[in-house]
């Protein structure tokens, strides 16, 4: 398959992110002698300014950092808990509202950036945040994607005065190329650059956040911010096709991807041929099994007894593999395990061998659609990630973290990183990452080729959504296996917006970015 975009190759470092301004900021940090973490935070912070429909410092971040000096993977869970004063019964009675500050969990993004910088950075948080501060203060041109997102959400954004003032500053949807300034956000970022994460969680800015949230009807209080800490759980990993693939542990759903790969590892996927009906069918049925196990078992490990490593036990994996049928299943049951939306992703690799796989989000488009007055900070609506069913392991509760779709991937060859990849896309994330992993690890495809290959997406039942660039023969063969085919446009963003970096044996980087959204890759 011929890729539409060229693969970006570089010898000194590479960045692939969800926006060209973010990628440029990341490469600039590398050129200044910064590490992969310096570049990742610089890029992520720019995304939080220029991609507000997807991310914000009022949201969350998950990251895997490969530390070349220690030759180890460090996992960062920058997600926050539900506020301690949250009225759960009121939400169960009324259901989740469409928008509003009441839907926000504690933002974990800033704390995670700070902790990553302290452990792995060289340039400092003030330097890393400088490009984002400049774009917020001076303005950045609105992309076509952002203009479309604002237009789509205009009614909801207009319902909150502060949000309307921020994203529809002249009372109308900004056109592509129009400059969008966010002076309040610039001021907040300056405080963080000067005083670190304490400004956000315990300083004067924290007080203004808590007071502002209270004024607009949210439950987040100063005590919730003060109590927040970044979680550093041990990364999960499985062997697949000779690589050790690392993923995010709970509350991320990274275990879904790893279970998918563990099940697939006992099958000769390369023999089936890339894009074949048999390969797609097999992967879709594996996906159904792993999602069923998520629904049955996954929750905040601080509140439920869930050890995701049990999902990779050889006997359990073998049993799940046997459950793959020759025809599409309407639904999959969970295995017998004995147990006591809107997002942006980026990948960075530097010349010293360090790598970062990072994903951040506000969950829904523009999150809660609530901007904290006077701060420019858009809040997430991550409460929506909880189940309102009391018996669910992911049941909503004060002080508990919801299960996240966010996950990031690093694949090692021995102790050497070879692939760094991920994608936004809500429930499509682990499905697209599964397709990327098989394309890269099993099929040996080039990163840009793997990213551009036609994708499929399964949500429920026997309906299988598949991009129109797949062949008629493949779609007919899938239908013959019982799949109810729904044809997507050629390049449908519902299947994600992936970025990836491959590192060859000579240390040369090959980076790719997805034409389905607005990501770009660059290096030097």
| Catalytic-labelled residue, pool 55, 163, 343, 495 | 343
* DSSP three-state, residue 158: helix
Q: Which of 404, 342, 343, 427 has its CA nearest to residue 75?
A: 404
Distance CA 40, CA 25 (A): 9
- For 80-92, the three-class secondary structure string (H helix, E strand, C coil) is CCCCCCCCHHHHH
Distance CA 46, CA 135 (A): 7
What single string gives the DSSP state of each residue in 485-503?
Answer: EEEEPTT-GGG---EEEEE
180: DSSP letter: E
Distance CA 524, CA 517 (A): 23
Tokens at 79, concatenated:
């997600």
Distance CA 233, CA 74 (A): 8
Q: Which of 215, 226, 188, 220 has its CA nearest to residue 373?
A: 215
Could you confirm whether 55 is annotated as catalytic?
no
Tokens at 197, concatenated:
């994460």
Alpha helices (runs of H) in 411-518, residue ranges in sequence order? 429-437, 447-452, 472-480
* DSSP three-state, residue 251: coil
Question: At 48, which helix (H) or strand (E)?
Answer: helix 36-50
Distance CA 468, CA 515 (A): 15
Tokens at 109, concatenated:
């993004």
Tokens at 455, concatenated:
């994708």
Give me the residue label for tokens 């989740």: 96
Distance CA 236, CA 341 (A): 23
Catalytic (active-site) positions: 343
């Amino acid at each position: 398959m011929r890729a539409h975009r060229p693969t970006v190759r570089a010898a000194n470092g590479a960045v692939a992110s969800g926006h060209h301004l973010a990628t440029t900021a990341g490469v600039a940090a590398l050129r200044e002698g910064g590490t992969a973490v310096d570049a990742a935070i610089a890029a992520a912070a720019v995304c939080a300014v220029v991609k507000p429909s997807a991310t914000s410092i009022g949201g969350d971040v998950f990251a895997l950092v490969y530390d070349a000096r220690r030759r180890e993977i460090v996992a960062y869970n920058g997600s926050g808990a539900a506020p301690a004063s949250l009225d759960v019964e009121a939400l169960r009675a009324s259901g989740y509202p469409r928008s509003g500050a009441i839907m926000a969990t504690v933002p974990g993004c800033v704390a995670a950036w700070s902790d990553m910088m302290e452990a792995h950075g060289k340039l400092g948080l003030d330097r890393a945040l400088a490009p984002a501060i400049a774009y917020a203060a001076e303005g950045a041109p609105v992309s076509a994607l952002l203009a479309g997102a604002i237009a789509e959400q205009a009614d909801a954004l207009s319902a909150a005065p502060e949000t309307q003032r921020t994203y529809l500053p002249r009372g109308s949807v900004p056109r592509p190329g129009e400059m969008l300034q966010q002076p309040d956000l610039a001021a907040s970022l300056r405080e963080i650059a000067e005083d670190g994460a304490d400004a956000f969680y315990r300083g004067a800015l924290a007080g203004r956040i808590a007071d502002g949230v209270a004024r607009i009807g949210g439950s987040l209080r100063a005590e919730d911010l003060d109590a927040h800490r970044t979680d550093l759980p041990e990364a999960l990993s499985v062997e697949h096709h000779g690589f050790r693939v690392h993923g995010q542990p709970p509350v991320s759903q990274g275990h879904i991807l790893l279970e998918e790969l563990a099940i697939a590892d006992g099958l000769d996927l390369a023999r089936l041929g890339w894009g074949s009906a048999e390969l797609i069918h097999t992967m879709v049925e594996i996906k159904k099994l792993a999602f069923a196990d998520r629904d049955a078992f996954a929750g905040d490990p601080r509140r439920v007894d869930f050890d995701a490593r049990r999902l990779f036990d050889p006997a359990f994996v073998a049993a799940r593999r046997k459950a793959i049928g020759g025809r599409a299943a309407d639904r999959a049951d969970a295995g017998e395990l004995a147990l006591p939306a809107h997002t942006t992703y980026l990948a960075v690799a530097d010349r010293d061998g360090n790598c970062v796989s990072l994903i951040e989000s506000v969950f829904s488009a523009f999150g809660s659609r609530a901007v904290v007055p006077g701060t420019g900070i858009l809040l997430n609506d991550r409460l929506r990630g909880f189940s309102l069913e009391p018996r669910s392991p992911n049941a909503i509760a004060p002080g508990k973290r919801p299960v996240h779709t966010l996950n990031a991937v690093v694949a090692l060859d021995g102790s050497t990183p070879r692939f760094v990849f991920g994608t936004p896309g809500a429930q499509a994330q682990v499905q697209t990452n599964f397709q990327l992993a098989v394309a890269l690890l099993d099929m040996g495809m080039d990163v840009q080729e793997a990213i551009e290959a036609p994708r499929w997406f399964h949500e429920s039942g026997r309906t299988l959504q598949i991009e129109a660039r797949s062949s008629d023969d493949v779609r007919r063969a899938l239908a013959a296996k019982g799949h109810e085919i729904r044809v997507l446009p050629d390049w449908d963003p519902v299947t994600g917006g992936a970025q990836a970096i491959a590192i060859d044996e000579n240390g040369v980087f090959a980076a790719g970015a997805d034409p389905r959204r607005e990501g770009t890759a660059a290096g030097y």
